[in-house]
């Protein structure tokens, strides 16, 4: 008989295998993803490990997909069935609508309006009624389980800010389907919003110079707030200068931290461009795009921006073939093959390899220099093709 505890045990074993597979296949990417997660306040292995296995985007696919592609045929029926259930699970912001300590929780998804009765011994001891939790819920037959819950819950007011941020990204004020929430970009927006809410909770509001009265400054200095005369003016001026200096240092530290992050991203993007080719836009535009889209690593940003360029490569290769066909019809070129196959530009291929593949395919099939054909197409006037 399938139970919640047996499914958790099965998941623990399969996740271990997925992570070992990821270490072998995506070692550096896995390390970077782990480093990023560790920067979030309150992060725990109970949340981070399922996130990496089932949520994180490794070259546009979650690890579980890569694992199933590589080892799916060798898995037992119950193992594959469970991993398929995990693929259909989703991360969301859930309200606790009922709790039975040590047994179960009733949850309502604030973004999809889905409701679940989950069997959870540990989690049911940690949450309170009407709290919001960031968690993945997985359905397996008649059982619903929590598979990766953030250890820190939010109250409704704190969570409302995060929910609004996610709805803004989704461009929907009403309920969405669970499939919309399986997008890694949406999951990252939830986590970033959750972390911001926790950070705000942990950081008390800081008094600014303008918010402090002269009497409060004198009191901090251990003096009589009622002190009068030139001495009072001199002490208050000195204290305000000190506060202004501290504020300026804090501002500079924030700016320097931001610059360090920007420099790190710029260097990694430079390395990617050196290996695979340039991406559109200036560095400033690229970093702004990453911030707006919730992209959390330079590699994700690079491959997000490079996808349209690869399509353009395919288009230019097709243009080369069309130019060759025109020359064949006019008697200026003899075709080397009877049928032109599409350019072999495949998903996941680097831009450098895509360009080479498209060029080689077009040149082989037409006998026309790919670069020359592209150059001719790009410099032709709109009326040329009709002549």
Q: Which of 201, 231, 251 is the last residue of a domain?
A: 201
CA distance 203 to 190: 20
Asked if residue 153 and residue 9 are part of one domain, the reply reads yes
Mark which of 275, 291, 323 sits at the end of a domain: 275
Task: Residue 115: count other Cβ atoms within 10 Å of its Cβ.
Answer: 13
pTM over 0.85: no
Residues 14 and 142 placed together within one structural domain of the fold: yes
Q: Cβ(235)–Cβ(218) under 8 Å?
A: yes
DSSP 208: P
Q: Which of the four pLDDT bands, split at 50, 70 and 90, describes residue 17?
A: very high
Calculate the average pLDDT of the chain. Answer: 77
Tens of pLDDT along 338-378? 444 444 545 455 555 555 565 565 555 555 554 454 444 44
Domain enclosing residue 380, as ranges: 300-386
> How far apart are the C-alpha atoms of 379 and 331, rounded to whole Å?
22
d(C-alpha 129, C-alpha 107), whole Å: 10
Read off the pLDDT band of 337 (50, 70, 90).
very low
Residue 100 contacts residue 120 (beta carbons within 8 Å): no
195 shares a domain with 219:
no
Give a yes or no: residue 347 inside a domain: yes
Tell whether 108 and 181 lie within a shared domain: yes
Residue 287 has a pLDDT of 80
**Residue 293 maps to a domain:** no
Considering only CA atoms, which of 14, 122, 131, 116 is closest in space to residue 74? 14
- The radius of gyration of the chain from alpha carbons, rounded to an integer in Å, stands at 29
Sign for the CA dihedral angle at 203, 204, 210, 214 comes to negative
Q: Which pLDDT score, from 0 to 100, does residue 383 have?
A: 43
Which of 94-98, 135-139, 279-283 shows the lowest mean pLDDT across its residues? 279-283
Confidence grade of residue 313 (pLDDT, cut at 50, 70, 90):
low
First to last CA, the chain: 75
Residues 10 and 84 in one domain: yes
How many Cβ atoms sit within 10 Å of the Cβ of residue 133? 23
Decide if 175 contacts 112 (C-beta within 8 A): yes
What is the reported pLDDT for 354?
A: 56
Quick: pLDDT tens for 257-309: 556 667 778 888 888 777 767 777 788 788 878 877 777 677 777 777 776 55
Mean pLDDT for 298-323 is 65
Residues 6+ apart with CB under 8 A from 32: 297, 299
- Specify the DSSP class assigned to residue 297: S
Q: How far is CA 74 from CA 20, 50, 247, in A?
A: 16, 22, 61
Give dist(CA 139, CA 289) in Å, integer.
35
Name the pLDDT band for 150 (thresholds 50, 70, 90).
Answer: very high
What is the per-residue pLDDT for 336? Answer: 43
Which residues have C-beta within 8 Å of that of residue 258, sequence separation ≥ 6? Answer: none
Greater model confidence, 128 or 319:
128
Assigned token pair, 253: 């530290």
DSSP notation for 143-175: EEEEEEE-S--B-HHHHHHHHHHHHHHHT-SS-
Work out the average pLDDT over 82-93.
Answer: 94
- Beta-bridge mates of residue 137: 90, 146
pLDDT tens digits, one per residue of 42-52: 888 899 999 99
Of 98, 106, 60, 68, residue with least CA distance to 85: 68
> What token pair was written down for 4?
């919640």
Q: Are residues 196 and 218 in the same domain?
A: no
Q: What gap in Å lies between CA 231 and CA 209, rounded to an integer?
A: 20
How many folded domains does the chain comprise? 3
193 or 261, greater pLDDT:
193
């Amino acid at each position: 008989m399938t139970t919640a505890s047996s499914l958790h045990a099965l998941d623990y074993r399969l996740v271990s295998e997925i992570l070992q597979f990821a270490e072998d296949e995506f070692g550096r990417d896995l390390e970077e993803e782990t480093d990023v997660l560790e920067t979030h306040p309150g992060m725990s292995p109970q949340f981070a490990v399922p996130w990496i296995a089932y949520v994180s985007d490794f070259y546009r696919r979650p690890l579980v997909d890569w694992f199933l592609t590589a080892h799916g045929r060798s898995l037992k029926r119950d193992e594959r069935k469970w991993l398929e259930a995990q693929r259909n699970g989703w991360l969301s912001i859930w309200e606790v609508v009922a709790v039975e300590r040590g047994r179960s929780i009733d949850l309502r998804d604030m973004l999809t309006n889905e409701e679940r009765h989950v069997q959870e011994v540990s989690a049911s001891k940690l949450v309170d009624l009407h709290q919001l939790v960031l968690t993945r819920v997985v359905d397996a037959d008649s059982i619903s389980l929590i598979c990766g819950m953030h250890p820190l819950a939010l109250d409704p007011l704190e969570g409302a800010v995060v929910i609004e941020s996610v709805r803004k990204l989704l461009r929907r004020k009403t309920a969405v389907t669970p499939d919309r929430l399986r997008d890694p970009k949406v999951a990252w927006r939830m986590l970033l919003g959750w972390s911001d809410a926790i950070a705000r909770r942990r950081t008390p509001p800081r008094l600014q110079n303008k918010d402090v009265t002269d009497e409060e400054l004198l009191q901090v200095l251990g003096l009589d707030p009622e002190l009068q005369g030139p001495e009072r003016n001199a002490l208050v001026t000195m204290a305000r200068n000190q506060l202004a200096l501290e504020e300026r240092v804090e501002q500079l530290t924030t700016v320097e931290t931001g610059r360090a992050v920007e420099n790190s991203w710029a260097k990694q993007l430079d390395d990617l461009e050196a290996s695979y080719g340039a991406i559109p836009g200036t560095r400033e535009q690229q970093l702004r795009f990453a911030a707006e889209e919730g992209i959390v690593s330079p590699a994700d940003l690079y491959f997000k921006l490079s996808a349209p360029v690869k399509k353009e490569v395919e288009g230019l290769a097709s243009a080369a073939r069309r130019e060759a066909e025109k020359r064949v019809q006019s008697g200026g070129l003899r075709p080397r093959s009877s049928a032109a196959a599409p350019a072999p530009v495949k998903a996941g291929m680097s831009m450098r390899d895509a360009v080479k593949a498209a060029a080689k395919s077009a040149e082989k099939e037409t006998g026309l220099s790919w670069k020359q054909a592209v150059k001719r197409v790009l410099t032709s006037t709109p009326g040329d093709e009709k002549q």
